[in-house]
Amino acid sequence: MFKTFLNLLKDSIISVLPVTSVILMIVPFIGVDLETMLMFVVSAVLLAIGLALFQLGAFESTGVIAQDIGKYMIKKRNIIIFIIVAFLVGFLITIAEPALWVLGNQLKNVLSEMVLILTIAIGVGIFLVVGLLRILFGIKLRTLFMILYITTFIVAALVNIRNPEFIPLAFDSGGVTTGLMAVPFIIGLAYGLSKTRGDKSKDTDSFGLVGIASVGLILAVLILGLFVEIDPNQIVTGSNPMGLVDYLKQYVWQMVIAIYPFIIFFIVFQIIDLKFDKKRVIKILIAFVYTYVGLVLFLSGANSGFANIGNYIGAYFGATDYNWILVVLGLVFGLLIVSAEPSVIALNKQVEEVSAGTVTRRMMMIGLAAGVSIAIGLAMIRVLTGISIWWFIVPGYIIAIILSYKTPVLFSSIAFDSGGAVSVAMTSAFLMPFALGAASTIPGANVLTDAFGLVAFVAMSPLITIQIIGLIYKYKSKEYVDIEVDIDDIIDI
């Protein structure tokens, strides 16, 4: 176990080092004090250790439980039980998602924190049911996505008439709240369900469920926007006065809330279905401890060090005469930050295993890094110019839907899942403060309408880049047959 941890720690350091090095090269020139720089270095170390521990524990805890819940839902052969379990799973894992509470706290001055959290949790619960029913009945993923996004943009157009500030917030929520805990769990749930069902259809693979949950909660928040209004003048920007110790205290308790639903799931299903032996139960419980400690260290490091530095960098360059450099920095940060996202690492590992090596981790990382880089560059152009988010998200999603009819099904379903994975911890902890800091010092910029929306750009980018990789793969194959993963040959995660 210790040797495995050292290998994961090495990989984590390699993932975190590039963006950390670039930041350390920038901060001496923008007047950041020595104490803040030292705090950033310590935070980066904790972030790397936390990332390694999270990986060590997540697959042996939440991943195992999710797969077995999926198997249980199929074995019961009762649609009512299926729907109830699916909704409760979606609702509870969303309530447990750390990024959701961070988002709610950021917006508590303009919108009730509990109202937002419950709205998103209900939305994920409903659309997790929809996504799992799709697998159960073999509904084409691309058709479902087209219906969902058309509905989403119709509702968004209605919201825009009376509450335009709500649009960036709603699309951001789709990326932020399907993250650290939700992505591995939802993918594992879909894998367990599809494996037990034994379906070999190309349209019912293990991916796409995260994408359905993401668009579902975007739609839920947009519907909320039909009934409530927000005051953009109440948005608070600036660096956070909380230090590392404060964040450690905060996340020690918050991550208990994040982990306990999964432990409850495990205990309940151990009693009614799993019947694991004592040795395996102890192994899973220890894995939960690793996951918990990893989350506490990772989130404390990300928010105590990276958030403040991101805000400083954005605010400094936003106030200069050459603030166009924000676009260049956005391209660089977007390229480097992806490798430090724990959800990306979790997704890439599962993609490679479930696809039996058809889609490699390297292939995924190239597509995700390129997409996020372009996304952050475009987001900073929007901060500088104030161009409406509509000019980006509408063409972007139209392109993504069109590509889904051209690219192999495996790639398109993975692409829609990837949007939720790339837009979580590091995006909200570093890239979002970077954009908020820039918008707070650029004359004429509106923080709510110009800076918010960055997460939506990040979440949208893999939908295009991963599917383009799928097209390249398709046309490079001498004898192309639409990719099918034989469920009997799938490597057990």
Give domain limits for the chain.
Answer: 2-489
Using 50, 70 and 90 to split pLDDT, how confident is the model at 479? very low
Q: Closest by alpha carbon to 351, among 278, 415, 293, 443? A: 415
| Residue corresponding to tokens 């880089």 | 373
Comparing 173-182, 212-221, 358-367, the range with the smallest average pLDDT is 173-182
pTM, whole model, 2 decimals? Answer: 0.80
pLDDT digits 0-9 by tens, 348-406: 877 787 677 777 888 888 899 999 999 999 999 999 999 999 999 999 999 999 999 99
What pLDDT, on the 0 to 100 scale, is given for residue 199?
A: 54
Residue range 113-154, pLDDT digits in tens: 788 888 888 988 999 899 888 877 878 888 899 999 999 999
Give the tens place of pLDDT for each residue, 68-123: 787 777 777 788 888 888 898 888 778 767 667 667 766 767 777 788 888 888 98
Model confidence pLDDT, tens digit, residues 418-457: 887 787 677 777 888 899 899 989 988 888 788 888 888 9
What's the mean per-residue pLDDT of the chain? 82
What 3 state SS string does the chain have? CHHHHHHHHHHHHHHHHHHHHHHHHHHHHCCCCHHHHHHHHHHHHHHHHHHHHHHHHHCCCHHHHHHHHHHHHHHHCCHHHHHHHHHHHHHHHHHCCHHHHHHHHHCCCCCCHHHHHHHHHHHHHHHHHHHHHHHHHCCCHHHHHHHHHHHHHHHHHHHHHHCCCHHHHHHHHHHHCCCCCHHHHHHHHHHHHHHHHCCCCCCCCCCCHHHHHHHHHHHHHHHHHCCCCCCHHHCCCCCCCCCHHHHHHHHHHHHHHHHHHHHHHHHHHHHHHHCCCHHHHHHHHHHHHHHHHHHHHHHHHHHHHHHHHHHHHHHHHHCCCCCCHHHHHHHHHHHHHHHHCHHHHHHHHHHHHHCCCCCCHHHHHHHHHHHHHHHHHHHHHHHHHCCCCHHHHHHHHHHHHHHHCCCCHHHHHHHHHHHHHHCCHHHHHHHHHHHHHHHHHCCCCCHHHHHCCHHHHHHHHHHHHHHHHHHHHHHHCCCCCCCCCCHHHCCCC
